[in-house]
C-alpha cells in the first residue's frame, strides 16, 4: 500500500516531511509504515468569489494544504529571526546605557550595576542626550505645528488652482493630525527608536476596523527581515509580528478579515527587548489572567506559488513563478488566518505593493541601520566608568577607610565617622601615639588628568552624536553670515545627512497615504464638516493636479539653520540696490522662516485714499469722462469738416455757373458781331450785366 501511494504521490515544495498531495488527496505517512489518504478538494481559481482581487484565498484552500504552507513559512520566519539575534541582544543590553532606571548603591551586588560594594551607580547621559536631541529636532522638522504636508502646484498657477491647492493642503493636514490621531504620537515615538537603535518602520495600509488609511509605527523588534537582505522590497520575506488583544482578534474575525477557526490559548512569550524595556521602566509584562493574554500574529509578505492560484502567462499556461501574497498566521496554533493578493489589481508585472517605509539613521553593514546606541555605546560606557571613578575618589577622599592595630587603640566598633565639630574617644595604651595605632588609607582625590580625559571623550562623543555646541562667534560682530552658516553646517554634517534620509522616508510615506486616499476618497473628509465641499471626483482631480510633499525642508536640518538663512537673506536685502528686491516680500519670507504665527496681522493696514492719492473709482470716472469728451470733440470736428466740404462744393458750383454764364455771354457777343441785327438785344443784355 505504501509503495502504491508513493507511486502516485507528487512532489510538493511546501509539504512537511511525510506529507504530500495529489490533485484530490493528501498522503500522510504513518510511523508503522502505512499511509493515510485524505480525499480533499484542492483550491480552484474558478470560484467566482475567489476571483475578487481582495478576497481571502484561505477560504478556498484545503486545511491540509494550509497547514503545510504554515509550517513552511514559519520555518523561514524562524530562520530570519535567528539571523538577527546578536543585533537584538545588543539592542536589549543598550537600554541600560540610557540610564533611565534609578539605581542606588546597595550591598546586594545582584541588584546593582556597580562592580564593588558601595561604588557609585551613576551613568553618563551622553547617549540619552543625543537620542532626545535627535527626537526633539526631528519632531520640530517633520511635525511642525501647521501640519506635516504642503501642496506643490504643477504648471501655471491661477487663482482657482491656488484655492483648490490650499483646500487640499488644509484638509490633508487635518486628516493627519485630527482624523488619524495615531499619526503624530506614533511618529514621535518612532523618532526616539530611530535615534536609539538606528531603525524603525511605518506601516501604511487601509485599516479594516477604522475603514481609512493609517500609518502606524512598527518597531524594528517587531519586523522580522533576514539581515542579509539589502532592501525591504526585495527581501524574500517580511514578517510583521503583531501583539494582538483577543478582543481585537474577534473584531477582525467579525469584519471578515480573518477566518473563523478554533485556536489554542495564546502563550506568554516576551521578547528580550520588551523585557529589558519593561525592567528599565518598572513595568511587569507577565499576565496571569488567561483572557488578558495577547495573541502573536505573524503577517508575512512573501512570494509563493499557491496551488489553484498560480501565475499564468498570456496563453493561460502555468509558469511556476511565485507571486506576492500576504499570509497571516497565528503563532501558537500555527494556523493560517488569511491569504490575500499583495499586488495592485491589474498589474501584469505582479510587483509587491509597498506597505512598510523604513526610517533609518545610518545605513551600514546589514539590513538594519546603526543608531546612536552603536555609535555612542562604547563612549557612554567609558564616560560612565570615568564618572564613577571620579565620584568614588571624591567620596573616599572625604570619608577614607583606615587600619588600626589590634593591640593598640581600643574601640567598641570600627566606624570612625566623626561629625563636623564633634569628636570620638579612643583608648590608647600608655607610651603609644595615636597616629601609630590608627592609619588612614592613602586615598587620592579626583585625578585632574582623568577629569581632562573624560572631558575629551565627552567632546568627541558630542560631535558624533550631534549635541556639540554650534559655533556662534560670541563677542564678534564682524563675522559674515555666510561664513557662520558654513561653520554650522560643517559642525552638524552627520545629522544633516540623517535629516535628509528622514525627509525622503516621510515623502514616501505621504505618497503611500495619498495612493490610499485615491482608492478611498471619502476618508479625506471622514469625521469633518466638509466645509470645502469635497466629493470623490473633486478629490481625484486635486490629487491629479497637485503633489502632496512634506513640509520639512531636506536642506534645513534644524531651526538654527533656518534662522541663519533668514539672517543671510536680511543681509542681502540690506545690501541690494534699491528697487531690485521687494521689501514687503522679503519681510514676509523672513517671518515665515522664523515661523512667526499669524504674520499677516503684523503688517500695517493700507493708507487711506486721501493720503495715497486719488481714489481709483474717481480716476476711472474721470478717464471715462475724458474719453467721452474726446469722442464728442471728434464728432464735432467731423461735422465741421463735412460742413466745410459742402460749402466748398457749393462755392465751386457757384463759380462754375458764373464762369459758364460769362462764356455764354462772350459767345453771344461774337454772334452779334457777325449778325448786327442782334445789337439791340446785345446792348440791353450788356447793360443789364453792367
Answer yes or no: is pLDDT of 343 > 90: yes
The mean pLDDT of 419-444, rounded to a whole number, is 69
Residue 51, pLDDT score? 83
Choose between 36 and 145: higher pLDDT: 145
Give 28's pLDDT tier (boundaries 50, 70, 90).
low
Give 613's pLDDT tier (boundaries 50, 70, 90).
low
- Any long-range contacts for 37-45 (C-beta under 8 Å, 24+ apart)? 37/5, 38/64, 40/64, 42/307, 42/308, 43/306, 43/307, 43/308, 43/309, 44/308, 45/308, 45/309
235 and 225 Cβ atoms separated by less than 8 Å: yes
Residue 158, pLDDT score? 56
> 366 CB contacts (<8 Å, ≥6 apart)?
84, 87, 227, 228
Helix extents (H) in 24-84:
63-82
Residue 47, pLDDT score? 64
How is residue 260 annotated by DSSP?
Answer: -
Mean predicted lDDT score pLDDT of the chain: 76
Choose between 633 and 118: higher pLDDT: 118
The mean pLDDT of 92-104, rounded to a whole number, is 83
How is residue 375 annotated by DSSP?
Answer: H
Rounded Cα gap, residues 328 and 331, in angstroms: 9
Answer yes or no: is pLDDT of 335 > 50: yes
Choose between 383 and 102: higher pLDDT: 383
Rounded Cα gap, residues 428 and 408, in angstroms: 6
Lowest mean pLDDT, pick from 222-236, 319-333, 585-599:
585-599
Answer yes or no: is pLDDT of 525 > 80: yes
Q: What is the per-residue burial (b if ≥16 Cβ within 10 Å, else e) of 638-662?
A: eeeeeeeeeeeeeeeeeeeeeeeee
Q: What's the distance, CA 161 to chain centroid?
A: 26
The mean pLDDT of 453-474, rounded to a whole number, is 73
Please give the full DSSP string across 392-425, using - where no structure is assigned. Answer: HHHHHHHS--EEE-TTS-B-SSS---PPTT----
Of 159-173, 406-420, 447-461, give the range with the top mean pLDDT.
447-461
Q: What's the distance, CA 237 to chain centroid?
A: 24
Answer yes or no: is pLDDT of 254 > 50: yes
- Per-residue pLDDT tens over the stretch 355-364: 999 999 999 8
Rounded Cα gap, residues 177 and 670, in angstroms: 119
Choose between 428 and 334: higher pLDDT: 334
Residue 114, pLDDT score? 58
Rounded Cα gap, residues 56 and 260, in angstroms: 12
- Per-residue pLDDT tens over the stretch 55-68: 999 999 988 899 99
Q: Please report the sign of the dihedral spanned by the C-alpha atoms of residue 432, residue 437, residue 443, residue 445.
A: negative
Residue 1, pLDDT score? 42
State the helix-helix crossing angle for 536-545 and 159-174, rounded to 10 degrees: 110
User: Which grid coordinates belong to 684?
Assistant: 440791353
The mean pLDDT of 342-363, rounded to a whole number, is 92
The reported pTM is 0.70
As a whole-number percent, the residues of the chain with pLDDT over 70 amount to: 64
Amino acid at each position: 500500500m505504501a509503495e502504491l501511494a508513493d507511486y502516485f504521490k507528487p512532489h510538493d515544495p511546501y509539504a512537511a516531511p511525510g506529507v504530500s498531495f495529489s490533485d484530490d488527496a493528501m498522503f500522510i505517512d504513518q510511523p508503522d509504515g502505512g499511509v493515510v489518504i485524505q480525499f480533499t478538494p484542492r483550491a480552484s481559481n474558478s470560484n467566482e468569489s475567489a476571483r475578487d482581487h481582495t478576497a481571502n484565498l484561505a477560504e478556498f484552500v484545503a486545511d491540509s494544504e494550509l497547514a503545510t504552507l504554515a509550517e513552511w513559512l514559519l520555518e523561514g520566519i524562524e530562520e530570519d529571526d535567528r539571523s538577527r539575534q546578536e543585533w537584538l541582544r545588543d539592542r536589549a543590553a543598550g537600554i541600560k546605557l540610557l540610564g533611565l532606571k534609578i539605581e542606588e548603591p546597595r550591598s546586594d551586588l545582584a541588584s546593582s550595576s556597580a562592580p564593588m560594594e558601595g561604588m557609585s551607580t551613576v551613568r553618563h547621559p551622553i547617549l540619552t542626550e543625543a537620542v532626545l536631541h535627535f527626537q526633539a529636532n526631528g519632531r520640530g522638522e517633520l511635525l511642525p505645528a501647521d501640519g506635516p504636508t504642503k501642496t506643490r502646484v504643477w504648471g501655471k498657477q491661477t487663482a482657482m488652482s491656488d484655492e483648490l491647492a490650499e483646500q487640499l493642503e488644509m484638509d490633508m493636514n487635518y486628516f493627519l493630525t485630527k482624523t488619524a490621531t495615531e499619526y503624530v504620537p506614533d511618529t514621535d515615538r518612532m523618532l526616539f527608536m530611530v535615534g536609539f537603535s538606528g531603525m524603525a518602520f511605518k506601516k501604511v495600509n487601509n485599516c479594516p476596523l477604522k475603514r481609512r488609511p493609517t500609518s502606524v509605527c512598527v518597531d524594528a523588534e517587531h519586523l522580522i527581515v533576514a539581515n542579509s537582505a539589502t532592501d525591504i522590497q526585495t527581501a524574500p520575506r517580511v514578517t510583521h509580528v503583531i501583539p494582538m488583544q483577543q478582543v481585537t482578534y474577534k473584531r477582525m474575525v467579525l469584519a471578515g478579515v480573518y477566518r473563523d477557526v478554533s485556536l489554542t490559548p495564546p502563550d506568554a512569550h516576551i521578547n528580550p527587548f520588551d523585557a529589558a524595556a519593561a525592567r528599565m521602566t518598572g513595568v511587569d509584562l507577565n499576565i496571569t489572567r488567561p483572557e488578558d493574554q495577547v495573541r502573536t500574529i505573524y503577517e508575512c509578505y512573501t512570494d509563493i506559488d499557491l496551488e489553484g492560484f498560480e501565475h499564468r502567462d498570456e496563453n493561460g499556461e502555468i509558469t511556476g513563478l511565485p507571486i506576492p501574497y500576504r499570509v497571516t498566521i497565528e503563532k501558537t496554533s500555527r494556523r493560517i488566518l488569511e491569504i490575500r493578493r499583495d499586488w495592485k489589481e491589474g498589474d501584469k508585472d505582479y510587483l509587491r505593493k509597498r506597505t512598510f517605509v523604513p526610517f533609518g539613521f545610518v545605513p551600514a553593514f546589514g539590513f538594519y541601520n546603526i543608531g546612536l546606541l552603536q555609535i555612542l555605546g562604547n563612549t557612554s560606557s567609558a564616560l560612565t566608568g570615568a564618572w564613577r571613578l571620579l565620584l568614588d575618589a571624591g567620596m573616599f577622599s572625604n570619608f577614607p577607610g583606615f587600619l588600626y592595630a589590634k593591640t593598640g587603640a581600643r574601640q567598641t566598633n570600627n566606624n570612625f565617622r566623626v561629625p563636623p565639630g564633634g569628636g570620638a574617644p579612643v583608648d590608647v595604651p600608655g607610651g603609644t601615639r595615636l597616629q601609630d595605632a590608627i592609619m588612614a588609607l592613602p586615598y587620592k582625590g579626583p585625578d585632574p588628568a582623568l577629569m581632562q580625559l573624560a572631558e575629551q571623550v565627552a567632546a568627541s562623543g558630542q560631535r558624533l552624536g550631534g549635541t556639540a555646541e554650534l559655533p556662534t562667534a560670541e563677542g564678534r560682530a564682524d563675522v559674515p553670515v555666510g561664513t557662520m552658516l558654513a561653520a554650522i553646517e560643517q559642525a552638524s554634517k552627520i545629522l544633516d545627512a540623517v535629516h535628509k534620509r528622514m525627509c525622503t522616508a516621510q515623502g514616501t510615506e505621504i505618497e503611500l497615504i495619498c495612493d490610499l486616499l485615491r482608492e478611498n476618497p471619502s476618508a479625506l473628509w471622514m469625521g469633518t464638516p466638509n466645509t470645502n465641499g469635497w466629493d470623490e471626483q473633486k478629490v481625484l482631480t486635486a490629487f491629479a493636479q497637485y503633489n502632496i510633499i512634506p513640509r520639512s525642508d531636506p536642506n534645513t536640518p534644524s531651526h538654527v539653520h533656518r534662522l541663519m538663512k533668514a539672517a543671510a537673506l536680511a543681509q542681502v536685502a540690506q545690501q541690494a540696490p534699491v528697487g531690485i528686491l521687494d521689501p514687503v516680500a522679503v519681510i514676509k519670507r523672513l517671518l515665515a522662516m522664523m515661523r512667526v504665527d499669524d504674520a499677516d496681522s503684523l503688517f500695517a493696514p493700507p493708507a487711506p485714499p486721501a493720503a495715497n492719492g486719488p481714489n481709483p473709482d474717481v480716476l476711472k470716472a474721470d478717464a471715462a469722462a475724458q474719453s467721452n469728451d474726446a469722442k464728442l470733440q471728434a464728432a464735432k470736428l467731423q461735422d465741421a469738416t463735412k460742413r466745410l466740404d459742402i460749402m466748398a462744393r457749393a462755392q465751386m458750383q457757384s463759380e462754375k455757373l458764373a464762369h459758364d454764364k460769362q462764356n455764354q455771354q462772350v459767345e453771344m457777343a461774337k454772334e452779334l458781331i457777325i449778325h448786327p441785327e442782334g445789337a439791340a438785344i446785345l446792348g440791353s443784355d450788356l447793360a443789364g450785366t453792367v
